[in-house]
């Protein structure tokens, strides 16, 4: 699970995909998840890290995380593995 190397993300959460020209705004939680993805963390490692930071169960978080990862794939932001 890896993001495309060429995706540009600013500190404020503005994401630009230079291949498609699409841009998005991330909320603060999504920025944290993206940073963990960029560090090479797996889906389960991200879930452990985020549930240690916030009051949410692993199962609820994984449900939201899977939705988010699906969106990233849909917008061509994940590398093909």
Partner 1 sequence: MSKPFYTIAVTGLNAVDNPGPGVPVIRSLKEARSFDCRIVGFCYEMLEPGAYMKDLVDVCYQVPYPSAGTELLLARLKQIQEKEHIDVVIPNFDAELFSYVKLRSELLNMGIHLFLPSYEQFEARQKYNLADFCSSCGMNVPRSYNCISPEAFFKEGWKFPVVLKGKYYEAYIVSDKEQFLSVFSRIVATWGGPAIVQEFIEGSEFNLIGCCDVEGQLLAAVPMRKQYITEKGKAWAGVTIKDGHIMDLAQKFVAGGKWCGAFELELIKAKDGRLYLLEVNPRIPAWVYLSTAAGVNIPEMLVNCSMGNPVAPLLDYEVGKMFIRYSWDMVVDQSEFAEFSVTGEKHNR
The Cα 51–Cα 63 span in angstroms is: 13
Residue closest to 42 by CA, chosen among 51, 29, 31, 33:
33
Residue closest to 64 by CA, chosen among 46, 77, 76, 78:
46
Paired with 3 in beta bridges are 78
Which of 22/45 has CB closer to partner 1?
Answer: 22
Q: How many Å separate Cα 37 from the centre of its chain? A: 6
Which of 16/68 has CB closer to partner 1?
Answer: 16
Query: Which residues in the 7-46 window bind partner 1 by CB under 8 A?
Result: 8, 16, 18-23
Judged by CB under 8 A, how many residues of this single chain contact partner 1? Answer: 9
Closest separation between CB of residue 73 and partner 1, Å? 13
Closest separation between CB of residue 7 and partner 1, Å? 11
Which of 6/25 has CB closer to partner 1?
Answer: 6
Applying CB under 8 A, the residues found at the interface with partner 1 are 6, 8, 16, 18-23
């Amino acid at each position: 699970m890896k993001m495309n190397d060429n995706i540009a993300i600013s500190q404020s959460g503005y994401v630009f995909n230079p291949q498609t020209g699409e841009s998005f705004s991330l909320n603060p939680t999504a920025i944290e998840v993206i940073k963990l993805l960029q560090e090479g963390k797996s889906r389960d490692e991200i879930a452990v890290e985020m549930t240690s930071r916030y009051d949410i169960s692993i199962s609820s978080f994984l449900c939201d995380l899977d939705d988010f990862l699906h969106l990233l794939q849909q917008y061509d932001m994940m590398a093909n593995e």
